[in-house]
Amino acid sequence: MLIKNYKPWQLRENDVTEQKLYVNRRSFIRGAVGVMGAGSIMGATSAHAAFLEEKRKLAPYEYSKTSYDPAEELTSEEAITNYNNYYEFGTGKGDPAENAWRLQPKPWSVKVDGMVEKPATYAFEDLVDLKSLEERIYRLRCVEAWSMVVPWIGVPLSAIINKIGVQSGAKYVAFETLADPKQMPGVRRRVLDWPYLEGLTIAEAMNPLTFVAVGLYGKEIPNQNGAPLRLVVPWKYGFKSIKSIVRIRLTDKEPVTSWGRSAPREYGFYSNVNPEVNHPRWSQASERRIGEFGRRKTLMFNGYAEEVAHLYAGMDLKANY
Amino acid sequence: MTITTAQMRRYGKPVIFFLLMVPALWLVYNWYLAFDYKPNGLGFNPQETSNRFSGDWAMRILLITLALSPLAKILKSPKPILFRRMVGNFAFFYACLHIASYVWLDMLFNWPELWKDVLKRLYITVGMISFLCLVPLAITSTKGWIKRLGAKTWQRLHRLVYIIAPLVILHFIMMRKGFQLEPLIYGAILATLLAFRLPKFFRYLSRN
């Protein structure tokens, strides 16, 4: 990736390029190709590449290192930011990286309601304490049987839950992703019932592992990874870790989840990583670590059994998948 | 100027042969690069890419095979039929690549896991059945087999393709998560191609 360090006296691209032109740069380039003829396609393609790298400047974050580190090789930043499931930007793995520049993560606010002590619409900066960011290196296991090791930056979800306050009787936390067809071209297709919905029990939400990421690899989180804030629940399949959150609601009823509604037989509310309970269409016994050729055995609770197994003591995990 | 059947055989066939080889050559070349740790077009999950790429082409070429006789009808010329055996065999060839990609590159010949996958995952079962049905069609694609079976029996056997093609589309629809457009587009193309056969099908029914 191209990292540009600007001196204060240097002009930025947006000082010399009209925003309208920038936003419509693809059609501008296409037009230019037409005018200049086929001979200039090469030139236009490299100009296109230069524009893509200009997408969004990701500021570095100050954060503290923590002991949450599986001591496994990190997945490359290139893979983490270019191989994504984020259907709001398209169903192809490369679609989010290509289309997510349309998302405007700043300014951002999150509606907090339901059984909370302090319901309000919080500005991103008021909800996430950017002065106490920490790094968490977690395994991420997708339900499609591939996995990564990701260095997230963020805060424990419990810090946010404590800030908004839990009313007695609340048992679940429900989350909602932005669903704006102007910023998210994939929302125009009904692959799922938008907006994307997810949920956790309060006990799961308050577990020290449960994390809200606002950064990745030392910088702000890229749009295609769920900017500006996303959930990270490392012992559950990736789809539970909802991206670009616009609403947090506390409730006493098990909340509806998008995949659960779309295919209840395939995606349960818990969706804990479990090599013994198979998805009807994929074996979950093994996985491919992105960047490796062979397959690895999938670990119970994605290797986090010590931290979370007690949450499900006495529960039939085959029935509560 | 018209192109004669002989010219079509002589020049058309090698051209089509080469065109149908292009995706396979691309796939093999990119795997060669990947094994050499060189930059390649297979992306971050090469096994997933090659499973999908080979499957996509097997399905597309199968649909092209089914498009040739309607095309002949529209053009009022039997020339497209000249290519049907070759295109059909290419569909089988890509289906073999698809299986090789899954069994070898993806599952690394882990037979117990593979066997469980084929039996337990309905979409793989459906895909496997359609592949097994393709095998006798590929074997009996030669002139010798047409003679041995007799044209009528041979044709009856090759009507299996009307079962295979819908199974292939079903396999594709079942593989995707959520409600996705792409498999349905292929389904619509197949439905159109089958619709061309309806008059003949009804005549066949009324005769029996």
pLDDT at A30 over 90: no
- Looking at the complex, report in whole angstroms how far the Cα of residue B174 sits from the nearest Cα belonging to chain A: 9
Which of B116, B175, B180 is nearest residue A283 as measured by Cβ atoms?
B116
| Largest Cα–Cα separation, chain A | 70
**Residues B181, A285: C-beta atoms closer than 8 Å:** no
Residue of A84, A262, A281 for testing the chain B interface, max B β-carbons within 10 Å: A281
- Among B45, B179, B185, most A C-beta atoms within 10 A, so best to mutate, is B45
* Residue A36 pLDDT exceeds 60: no
Q: Which residue in B has a C-alpha nearest to residue A78's C-alpha?
A: B44
Instruction: Give the pLDDT score at A40.
Output: 39
Q: What is the mean pLDDT of residues A112-128?
A: 98
Reported ipTM: the value is 0.86
Taking 90 as the threshold, does the pLDDT of residue B206 lie above it? no
Determine, for residues A281 and B116 on separate chains, whether the beta-carbon distance falls below 8 Å: no
Dihedral (CA of B173, B174, B177, B178) sign: positive
Cβ-defined contact of B180 to A190 (cutoff 8 Å): no
Minimal Cα distance from A283: which residue of B?
B117
Distance from the Cα of residue B103 to its chain's centroid: 18
CB contact under 8 A, A281 and B47: no
Residue listed under structure tokens 């900017």: A227
Q: Is the pLDDT of residue A33 over 50?
A: no
Q: Report the pLDDT value the prediction gives residue A17, as an integer from 0 to 100.
A: 53
At B28-49, the pLDDT tens digits run 999 999 998 888 999 999 999 9
Average pLDDT over residues B179-192: 95
The pLDDT of A16-28, averaged and rounded, is 51
In chain B, pLDDT over 70 holds for what percent of residues?
A: 99
B117, B122, B179 member nearest A283 (Cβ): B117
Task: Please report residues of A whose CB lies closer than 8 A to that of B177.
Answer: 91, 144, 263
Domain covering A77-312, topology: Sulfite Oxidase; Chain A, domain 2 (3.90.420)
**Average pLDDT, stretch A258-286?**
91
A83–B44 CB contact, under 8 Å: yes
Chain A residues in contact with B123 by the CB 8 A cut-off are 281
Q: With cut-offs at 50, 70 and 90, classify the pLDDT of residue B69.
A: very high
How would you write chain B as a 3-class SS string? CCCCHHHHHHHHHHHHHHHHHHHHHHHHHHHHHHHCCCCCCCCCCHHHHHHHHHHHHHHHHHHHHHHHHHHHHHHCCCHHHHHHHHHHHHHHHHHHHHHHHHHHHHCCCCHHHHHHHHHHCHHHHHHHHHHHHHHHHHHCCCHHHHHHHCHHHHHHHHCCHHHHHHHHHHHHHHHCCCCCHHHHHHHHHHHHHHHCCHHHHHHHHHHC
Chain A: nearest CA to B177, how far in angstroms? 8
Q: Does the pLDDT of residue A282 top 90, yes or no?
A: no
What's the confidence (pLDDT) of residue A69? 92
Tell me which chain B residue has its CA closest to the CA of residue A259. B178
Instruction: Give the start-to-end residue ranges of the domains of chain A.
Output: 13-52, 77-312
Helix and strand totals (H; E) in chain A = 11, 12
Q: Which two tokens stand for residue A33?
A: 């190709």
Across all residues in chain B, what is the average pLDDT? 94
Name chain B contacts of A150, Cβ cutoff 8 Å: none
- How far CA B78 is from CA of A32, A57, B70, B72, B144, in Å, comes to 45, 60, 10, 5, 22
Q: Which of B108, B117, B120 sits opposite A295 (nearest CB)?
A: B108
Evaluate if residue A43 carries a pLDDT over 50.
no
Nearest CA in chain A to B110: A295
**What is this structure's pTM?**
0.84
**What DSSP element (H or E) covers A163?**
helix A157-164
With residue A14 as reference, give the H or E element that holds it.
Answer: helix A13-16
Q: Give A185's pLDDT tier (boundaries 50, 70, 90).
A: very high
What pLDDT was estimated at residue A67?
Answer: 82
CA A300 to chain centre: 22
> What is the mean pLDDT of the segment spanning B175-200?
93
Cβ-defined contact of A288 to B179 (cutoff 8 Å): no
pLDDT(A65) > 70: yes
Residue B1: band (very low, low, confident or very high) from pLDDT cuts 50, 70, 90: low
> What pLDDT sits at residue A133?
97
- For residue A110, list its beta bridge partners: A122
Give the integer Cα–Cα distance in Å for A77 and A80. Answer: 5
Q: Is it the case that residue B106 has pLDDT exceeding 50?
A: yes
Q: Where are the beta strands (DSSP E) in chain A?
A: 109-114, 120-123, 134-141, 146-156, 172-177, 197-201, 211-216, 219-220, 230-232, 245-251, 286-289, 296-297
Q: How many CB atoms lie within 10 A of CB B53?
A: 21
Name the band, by pLDDT with cuts 50, 70 and 90, for residue B68.
very high
* Residues of A at the B interface, defined by Cβ within 8 angstroms: 79, 82-83, 87, 91, 93-94, 144, 146, 189-192, 262-263, 278, 280-283, 285-286, 288, 290-291, 294-295
Q: Is the pLDDT of residue A9 over 50?
A: no
pLDDT at A57 over 60: yes
Has residue B163 got a pLDDT over 60? yes
Band of the pLDDT at A5, cuts 50, 70, 90?
low
**Is the pLDDT score of B204 beyond 70?**
yes
Question: Poorest-confidence range of A14-23, A56-65, A138-147?
Answer: A14-23
B113 contacts A280? CB cut-off 8 A = no
3-state secondary structure (DSSP) of residue A210: coil
